[in-house]
Amino acid sequence: MSKQIRGLRRSRIRLFSVIVTLTALPYLSQAQELGDHQYTSEAIQAGLRVYSRECALCHGPQGDLVSGINLARGEFRSAQSDGDLRSVITEGRAQGQMPAFDLRESELSGVIAYIRAGLDPNGIAIRIGDAVRGLALFQGKGECAGCHRVNGVGPRTAPDLSAIGVERSPANLQLNLVDPAAAILPINRPVRIVTRNEETIIGRRLNEDTYTVQLIDSNERLRSLIKADLVTYEISEAPSKGPANLTPAEVADVIAYLLTLDGES
């Protein structure tokens, strides 16, 4: 078993604790591939009722009582697409240990929507892909590694993602990927400073209060400056778009990889 997958299974992911509205994510209309769908909040709420009635006894309220499966974190033994989930639910698996359910179409769609929302009735359906593929995309096609630092690798001036999997929900991670300007934390925006002695400093803020600012500069040195000694202090705008060359399925894979980053690797 790969290190990335082991990390995925042991990550203490607080899934979908941040509620993101559907209007904030126009990209979600394309976000489910492999036969997946975008679900409404009504479908997710309906799925909660079906799950509580039919599924919670075996899988538990958090979806983690069956070995090798965590429904809230999108971890299944074999299912990947919505079609796979439909097949498991309607046909059963494991020689009857997972029984077949005869559900109405609305009930079936609802329970899949609820699973895709991380068992959060107020959440949105986010597809989580393959962590191994996501790592390759992060380091290659997505060109993410040049702008971010992970487990000691990458420029120190870049935001450190080493524990992003326990700090951000999947919905928030997707927002970061498809609309960084809406999701980037202000503290992570680059700064340009000119001091009274005409020194120009470019770097990333680490901390700031009323009177001082701490940053790491372009030479990877830690600096603490008194604001009264600054001539200009400019905070750069957030990037307007993320890795536009990634398909929706590839975005799902990168999300899966980011969720493995628990700060312990």
Kindly report the average pLDDT of the chain as a whole number. Answer: 77
Of the ranges 17-31, 91-105, 236-250, which one carries the lowest mean pLDDT score? Answer: 17-31
Residues paired with 205 in a beta bridge: 215
Q: What is the 3-state secondary structure (H, E, C) of the chain?
A: CCHHHHHHHHCCCCCCCCCCCHHHCHHHHHCCCCCCCCCCHHHHHHHHHHHHHHHHHHHCCCCCCCCCCEHHHCECCCCCCHHHHHHHHHHCEHHHCECCCCCCHHHHHHHHHHHHCCCCCCCCCCCCCCHHHHHHHHHCCCCCCCCCEECCECCCCCCECCCHHHHCCHHHHHHHHHCHHHHCCHHHCEEEEEECCCCEEEEEEEEECCCEEEEEECCCCEEEEEHHHEEEEEECCCCCCCCCCCCHHHHHHHHHHHCCCCCCC
Question: Within 13 A of 75's CA, how many CA atoms are on the CB side?
Answer: 25
Confidence band (pLDDT; 50, 70, 90) for 12?
very low
Structure pTM?
Answer: 0.54
Cα–Cα distances in angstroms (integers) from residue 68 to residues 82, 99, 165, 224, in the given order? 19, 17, 19, 48
Torsion of CA 189, 149, 2, 86, to 10 degrees: 10
Question: What's the pLDDT at 241?
Answer: 52
Neighbours of 102 (CB within 10 A): 8
Confidence of residue 96 (pLDDT cuts 50, 70, 90): confident
- pLDDT for res 152: 78
Q: What is the pLDDT of residues 253-262, one digit of tens each?
A: 898 888 888 8
| Contact by Cβ (8 Å): 115, 56 | no
Q: How confident is the model at residue 242 (pLDDT cuts 50, 70, 90)?
A: low
What digits encode the pLDDT tens for the residues 152-162?
A: 787 777 778 88
Q: In this predicted model, what pLDDT tens digit does every residue of 15-46 receive, in sequence order?
A: 332 223 222 333 333 333 344 556 788 888 89
Q: Which residue has the higher pLDDT, 7 or 238?
A: 238
Of residues 138 and 184, more confidently modeled? 138
Banded pLDDT at 105 (limits 50, 70, 90): very high
What would the mean pLDDT of 107-121 be, rounded to a whole number?
Answer: 87
Distances (CA, A) of 101 to 49, 72, 96: 15, 20, 11
What is the structure's pLDDT at 155?
A: 72
Torsion from C-alpha of 127, 130, 133, 138, nearest 10 degrees: 50
- Residue 251 identity (one-letter amino acid): V
On whether the CB atoms of residues 69 and 77 are closer than 8 A, the answer is: yes
